[in-house]
Structure 1
């Protein structure tokens, strides 16, 4: 499918890719750190956004497969809307302390893979944001310049009213494949002299930063209302429903599980071979919009009694390994297209295959095709349909003339099947 993104969208994607391996993106820097979860504690696997000054909490959870106990510490840093440091002093954006140690940890129980599980809730009495905006959470051992993981978090200071709708693409050529977002914001009493500079919005599909589309100029202005409904704006390929598997138990084969092998030193799970889904017709299936949930129905606390297993994926596609390579991505690996998600072609089976070590639970995943030139295509193996159920995160940033940072003043979650 041809790329219909306008130039400013491509620039936004370049910005996202620039920080793909930086400390200002969602990253894990050590192979022994696994199963990183970061969400609003009101709902597991939700978007990591909280309202400033409310009782909202973000929960960070992760495992260290090296076991034992370590002196992990953390800090948060205020960032602009493009995830560069705001270069503010910590006194300007943090209450109380600049960093703290993670003291909530526990050891795995009765698992083949031994690990130590760590948890952290933010804000807390030691570390809390003072102003609204983007923040990067950095967890490190000994030296803050060498983080073990980073997570993006969103602190909202609501100051605007938002309304939005999801419609079919206005482009006849993409009406059956794309989903378009039109929205209106009312900035009320905010001082807005130049809407193109003072107010900017970002829309993401299923919380994926690489899908972000930036809006600078509104299509129309009506008093304090900014209307964004240009035919070329915020037009997203709908993609397909995510694939999934369920490993809440290692005693029985569930849907999509072909075989489970349990040994003294490791667990191995073979998934059924996945077909190429780039077909002309849409087929509905329930999914988690890319998310994953750590669960163990045979235990009492999945944080510490859920085990790990080597998950073996196989993909049957007519695409040749001479043309490119498929990758397995989802929220579980931050949608990273790298060596850890890369599939290998086996000529004797005429299949692509890969193995990924994952903790028990329910997982969504999808296949991304990367051609020999390095161009990534999310729909080549999955297809794209207007009917696909998706979440969209709409974020509004405010930066009036003379301000020194970007303030996050509005947020709403949209879903293709729900009316606002």
Structure 2
């Protein structure tokens, strides 16, 4: 069974829109950025090689953050089930979890031997006070002692009921063959009866697990028995982008690779070498962790409590902008969010875009992103887009049978563009 031409045209129009700009969905999906005194939010599986809060149902996630006010405040958290579009669902908490949907943080300690004082908070979910019963999209909110939401984070729990095989390709469009990746995949569901896969199944695809990069609502191009085929030639395409830049402050007192100098002025200051916009330059390989970060220090044993902070000074030479767009420092260090804190300011004296942000010791990936006046991300304008760029692509499969009250997550597949098939 093939989709009709009208549906295909709609699909192409949708993807073209996504190709030009990534919509900033964070502000539309109950996502609240952290206030200025909350730093270094990590929300990830216990596996040290994993960076994204997507796990099988029953596996654990760890949420941690620092409060640089260092007052040992009593914080709590709330877990809410969401629908496919990340809106809070109408399920009661007893339908999606056992125990308490809201509870307090019990594990928190003050830092020691650091110039920047902070209180470190940590939580694992599920835990003895709450266990999640069903797969799906979830939102965790951290609350102050007045019940006000400080910040929110998304996470996904899935049950592997289907198999997902994913492949990455260069675009076949001659005008984009050197700039874009095309994703194709196949869903095998031998043990799941689907009456109408075009209505019951929704699929999202992410690049580098960046929430803003998502292409949503993808429908199969055709079906064969217990297989759903998503083999659009260029229908699910992403700008390949460029490798992420990085800095490493594990030796916070010393200038190292990509760090021009350090200075102690009440707290540490880290000055990075000036970056030049790479959009018009040839592709160059940088080993990266696809926009993520790893906390680490050579100065102490426990980076959670003994890792210090430094003010990291960024500068970017970007002559082509002419004040048309705002420029932001972008990465998973703040959950891929566009906020005033990571916005750069043009300095007419130096002729550079500049920004200063507070980071805990560690290895950080970042890139520079242009955002237009309509608050839309342009994913390639500053740093360019090259098919050689190594990216991770993740496919999330949602299932909602007719009559069901919530969206299940029943499959996950991934591939890396290191293995391009053309």
TM-score category (smaller protein): over 0.9
Q: CA deviation at 1:280?
A: 5.0
Q: 1:368 corresponds to which residue?
A: 369
Tell me, which stretches of 5 or more residues in structure 2 are unaligned?
Answer: 1-10
1:418 & 1:18 partners in 2: Cα distance? 29
1:90 & 1:216 partners in 2: Cα distance? 29
Q: CA deviation at 1:142?
A: 2.7
1:68 & 1:346 partners in 2: Cα distance? 36
Conserved 8 A contact 1:61-1:119: yes
Conserved 8 A contact 2:76-2:105: yes
Instruction: Establish whether residue 284 from structure 1 lines up as the match of residue 285 from structure 2.
Output: yes
The one-character-per-residue Cα deviations of 1:124-170 (angstroms, maximum 9, x if unpaired) are 111111101111111112344x2112111111111101111111112
Q: CA deviation at 1:418?
A: 5.1
TM-score, L = length of structure 1 = 0.92
Describe how 1:25-40 pairs up with structure 2 within 5 A: 25=31, 27-40=32-45
Q: 1:323 corresponds to which residue?
A: 324
Structure 1 counterpart SS, 2:199? helix
Q: CA deviation at 1:214?
A: 2.0
Structure 2 counterpart SS, 1:417? helix
State which of 252, 261, 278 in structure 1 corresponds to 2:254.
252
Q: 1:108 corresponds to which residue?
A: 111
Instruction: Establish whether residue 342 from structure 1 lines up as the match of residue 343 from structure 2.
Output: yes
2:413 & 2:353 partners in 1: Cα distance? 39
Q: 1:178 corresponds to which residue?
A: 180
1:45 & 1:247 partners in 2: Cα distance? 21
Instruction: Establish whether residue 75 from structure 1 lines up as the match of residue 82 from structure 2.
Output: no
Further displaced range: 9-18 or 66-75:
9-18
Describe how 1:141-160 pairs up with structure 2 within 5 A: 141-144=144-147, 146-160=148-162
Structure 2 counterpart SS, 1:92? helix
Structure 2 counterpart SS, 1:240? coil
Conserved 8 A contact 1:306-1:360: yes
Instruction: Establish whether residue 241 from structure 1 lines up as the match of residue 243 from structure 2.
Output: yes
State which of 31, 42, 45 in structure 1 corresponds to 2:47.
42
1:320 & 1:413 partners in 2: Cα distance? 35
Conserved 8 A contact 1:75-1:127: no
The one-character-per-residue Cα deviations of 1:342-361 (angstroms, maximum 9, x if unpaired) are 11111121111111111111
Conserved 8 A contact 1:12-1:212: no
Structure 1 counterpart SS, 2:198? helix
Conserved 8 A contact 1:12-1:214: no
Structure 2 counterpart SS, 1:91? helix
1:43 & 1:166 partners in 2: Cα distance? 26
1:302 & 1:198 partners in 2: Cα distance? 46
The one-character-per-residue Cα deviations of 1:330-385 (angstroms, maximum 9, x if unpaired) are 10022222311111111121111111111111100000113456443221111101
Further displaced range: 120-129 or 279-288:
279-288
State which of 90, 94, 116 in structure 1 corresponds to 2:93.
90
Q: 1:200 corresponds to which residue?
A: 202
Q: CA deviation at 1:89?
A: 0.8
For the aligned residues, what is the CA RMSD? 2.2
Q: 1:402 to 1:373 in 2, by over 3 A?
A: closer
Tell me, which stretches of 5 or more residues in structure 1 are unaligned?
Answer: none
Conserved 8 A contact 1:13-1:211: no
Q: CA deviation at 1:323?
A: 2.3
Q: 1:17 corresponds to which residue?
A: 24
Conserved 8 A contact 1:33-1:62: yes
Q: CA deviation at 1:44?
A: 4.9
Q: 1:131 corresponds to which residue?
A: 134
Structure 2 counterpart SS, 1:340? helix
Further displaced range: 184-193 or 302-311:
184-193
Instruction: Establish whether residue 52 from structure 1 lines up as the match of residue 54 from structure 2.
Output: no
2:385 & 2:136 partners in 1: Cα distance? 33
Q: Report the number of matched residues.
A: 410
1:16 & 1:383 partners in 2: Cα distance? 18
1:337 & 1:405 partners in 2: Cα distance? 30
Q: 1:222 corresponds to which residue?
A: 224
Conserved 8 A contact 1:13-1:210: no
The one-character-per-residue Cα deviations of 1:273-293 (angstroms, maximum 9, x if unpaired) are 001101252111101100011
Conserved 8 A contact 1:182-1:229: yes
Conserved 8 A contact 1:203-1:394: yes
